[in-house]
């Protein structure tokens, strides 16, 4: 991402996405980040947001494949809705713009599916480090009182 020269930042209304966008921008070497545009349509449908939350809590995952297997009609309708939001957000900028969009999982995945018609591969969890080094589990246990 270094030297990307972002011309636009689009985020959801949640503060964490705004923070993440700034860090991405600064990590790319763009210290004067463009003003962020908040796109509320990703999260404005309260019933859909409640359904996402219900599915994620029940399945204990944000894996879009598992969610789609549980409620395929909901995921398909959300792909259409979120895909429209993503398409509109991108098309609202001139051609050649370098746009950074920060959203949430699984809304990111269904937005891309809504535009491309293809589902992103699910992220797989990494195995936990079994190291006993300086910052391994033993370090945290020994230094809990000193650290906090």
Instruction: Give dist(CA 148, CA 143) in Å, integer.
Output: 8
Dihedrals φ, ψ of 37, to 5°?
-105, 125
Interhelix angle for 72-91 vs 46-59, to 10°?
130
More confident residue, 136 or 95: 95
What mean pLDDT is predicted for residues 71-98? 93
Residue 100 is predicted with a pLDDT of: 86
pLDDT tier for residue 91 given thresholds of 50, 70 and 90: very high
Q: Cα–Cα distance between 2 and 118 in angstroms, integer?
A: 28
Residue predicted with more confidence, 54 or 28: 54
- Please tell me the distance from the alpha carbon of residue 11 to that of residue 8, in angstroms, as a whole number: 10
pLDDT digit string, tens, across residues 62-78: 888 999 999 999 999 99
């Amino acid at each position: 991402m270094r030297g990307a020269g972002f011309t636009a930042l689009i985020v959801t209304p949640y503060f964490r996405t705004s923070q993440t966008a700034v860090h991405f921008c600064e990590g790319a070497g763009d210290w004067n980040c463009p003003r962020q545009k908040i796109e509320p349509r990703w999260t404005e449908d309260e019933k859909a947001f409640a359904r996402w939350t219900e599915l994620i809590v029940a399945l204990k995952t944000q894996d879009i494949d598992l969610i789609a297997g549980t409620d395929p009609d909901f995921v398909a309708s959300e792909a259409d809705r979120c895909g429209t939001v993503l398409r509109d957000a991108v098309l609202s900028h001139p051609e050649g713009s370098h746009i950074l969009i920060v959203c949430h999982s699984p809304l990111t995945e269904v937005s891309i599916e809504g535009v491309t018609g293809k589902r992103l591969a699910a992220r797989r969890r990494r195995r936990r480090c079994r190291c006993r080094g300086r910052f391994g589990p033993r370090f945290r246990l020994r230094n809990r009182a000193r650290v906090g």
